[in-house]
Amino acid sequence: MRRRITGLIAFAALSVMLTACEGTTNNNLNANANANANRNANLAASPTPTANANTGVTGRAPTREEYERDRERFQREARESGRTVGTGANDGWLWVKTRFELATADDLRDSTINVDVDNNVVTLSGTVASAAQKTRAETVAKGVEGVRSVRNQLRVGADNANANGNANRNANGNRNR
């Protein structure tokens, strides 16, 4: 009789543990889904996307008036991302506009392109998949009205694809637990 009760208790405990593990998996899946939904919502609302494969850019470029209204936010965003934006009258605007133009160029979506601006000179750094993308990024940046010149320090290589793949694997790693 005692063994029967012990077995029943062990079975009940195992059932509770399996249910708890299942709940954790669902919670992790829900948390990942919510995080992805929030990221996508933020990207859609942000007028200054970054140029990489995860941007999901669908919006329009901000107007100069929108930039002026939110100048402090854009400056804070540049500082927090480690970018350099000079003190020239148009440097901040050129930073926002160049980033948007690069992010919306279809043939550059799988690139990680950083933008720095000082005295109307744009510096591009980061990684692109091909020499053609490097040239295209420079052409896009030169096409932004007000840009005096472009320093193209982009590297050609597969580093970007690996970084994005690792980020996606890390974000979804809880699904297997």
- The pLDDT score that the predictor gives to residue 56 is 37
Q: Is 119 left (phi over 0), alpha (psi -120 to 50) or beta?
A: left
- The pLDDT score that the predictor gives to residue 13 is 67
Give the span between the Cα atoms of 5 and 20, in whole angstroms: 22
DSSP secondary structure of 122-136: EEEEEEESSHHHHHH
The verdict on domain 64-162 having CATH code 1.10.10.2840 is no
Give the span between the Cα atoms of 99 and 113, in whole angstroms: 8
- The pLDDT score that the predictor gives to residue 10 is 67
Contact of 47 with 59, CB cutoff 8 Å: yes
Give the span between the Cα atoms of 120 and 12, in whole angstroms: 70
Contact of 124 with 73, CB cutoff 8 Å: no
What is the tally of helices (H) and strands (E) in the chain?
6, 3
Quick check: helix, strand or coil at residue 113? strand
Give the span between the Cα atoms of 160 and 153, in whole angstroms: 15
Quick check: helix, strand or coil at residue 154? strand
- 154 is written with which tokens? 């982009």
From first to last of its 177 residues, the chain has per-residue pLDDT tens of 766 677 667 666 666 665 555 544 445 555 545 444 444 444 444 444 444 433 334 467 788 888 889 888 988 998 898 998 988 889 999 999 999 999 988 888 778 999 999 999 999 999 999 999 999 999 999 999 999 999 999 999 865 444 444 444 444 444 444
- The pLDDT score that the predictor gives to residue 122 is 97
- The pLDDT score that the predictor gives to residue 87 is 84
- The pTM assigned to this predicted structure is 0.56
- 69 is written with which tokens? 């209204």
Give the span between the Cα atoms of 19 and 135, in whole angstroms: 55
Which amino acid appears at position 170 of this protein?
A: N
User: Which of 100, 173, 111 has the alpha carbon at shortest distance from 141?
Assistant: 100
